[in-house]
Amino acid sequence: MYDSKATEPVTVTVREAKPTVSIATDGTRYSPGDTMITTIGFKNPATSSVDTLLAWYLHIPAYNYWWQVYLGTITLPANYDDSFEIPMEVGDWGKESFEAEWHVWLVEPKPPYEVIGHDSVGWSYVPGEMAQNRTIPAEIAEEITKKIEGAELPGKKAQGEIVPEETIKELTKEKKK
C-alpha cells in the first residue's frame, strides 16, 4: 500500500476485531421473592467462529468472596451478536444487606489463557422483613449456581474446564484492587 505523499511503502496492519462479552441485570436492588433477570451478551465480529472459555463469577466484596458460577467452553459463530436472559428467583439470603457483582470473562481456551474480554455489573441484596437466616456467602453461591445451571449459552460444549488456579486468581485479582 502506498501513501500518495510518501516516497516509501507504508505498512498497514489490520487486526481482526475480538469477541466481546457483556453482563447486565434488570435492576440494582433485589429482595427475597424478586426475580433477577441477568442478561449475558456475546459478540463475535470476526469472519470465523471462535472457541473460548466463558468464566462467570459471583463476587461479594464485603466478604471478599468469589464463586465460580460457570466455567466452560463455548463457540461463538462468525459475525455473532446475541444475548441470553437468565431469570433467577432471589431467595432468603440473610437478614443483612450486601452488595454483589457478576463478572464474566472470555478467555483463550489454551495456555497462557489470555483474557479476550471482561465485563461486570453490581447489584444489591436487601432482606425482606421476615428474613431469618444469617448471610453465608457459600450457601448463597451454591443456591444461585443450582438456579442457573441450565442456562442456555452459545455453542455450549463443556462445563468445568480445567484451568490452573493461578489463572483464576489472575482473573479475579483484576477487580480486587
Region of poorest pLDDT, from 64-68, 121-125, 151-155, 166-170? 166-170
Mean pLDDT for the chain?
84
Q: How confident is the model at residue 74 (pLDDT cuts 50, 70, 90)?
A: very high
Buried b or exposed e, range 27-55, using 16+ CB within 10 angstroms: eeebbbebebebebebbbebeeebebbbb
CA distance linking residue 162 with residue 69, whole number of Å: 14
Does this model's pTM top 0.75? My answer is yes
Q: What is the pLDDT of residue 145?
A: 81
Task: Report the SS3 class of residue 99.
Answer: strand
From start to end of the chain, where are the E strands? 20-25, 29-30, 35-44, 50-60, 65-76, 80-89, 98-107, 115-125, 158-159
List the domains of the chain with CATH numbers.
20-152 (2.60.40.10)
Name which of 133, 128, 146, 127 is nearest 67 in CA terms: 146
Torsion of CA 103, 126, 62, 64, to 10 degrees: -40
What are residue 139's phi and psi, to 5 degrees? -70, -40
Examine the pLDDT at 167 and tell me if it is beyond 80.
Answer: no
What are residue 49's phi and psi, to 5 degrees? -70, 155
Residues in the chain: 177
DSSP state of 146: H
Which cell numbers hold the place of 71?
466455567
Q: How confident is the model at residue 6 (pLDDT cuts 50, 70, 90)?
A: low
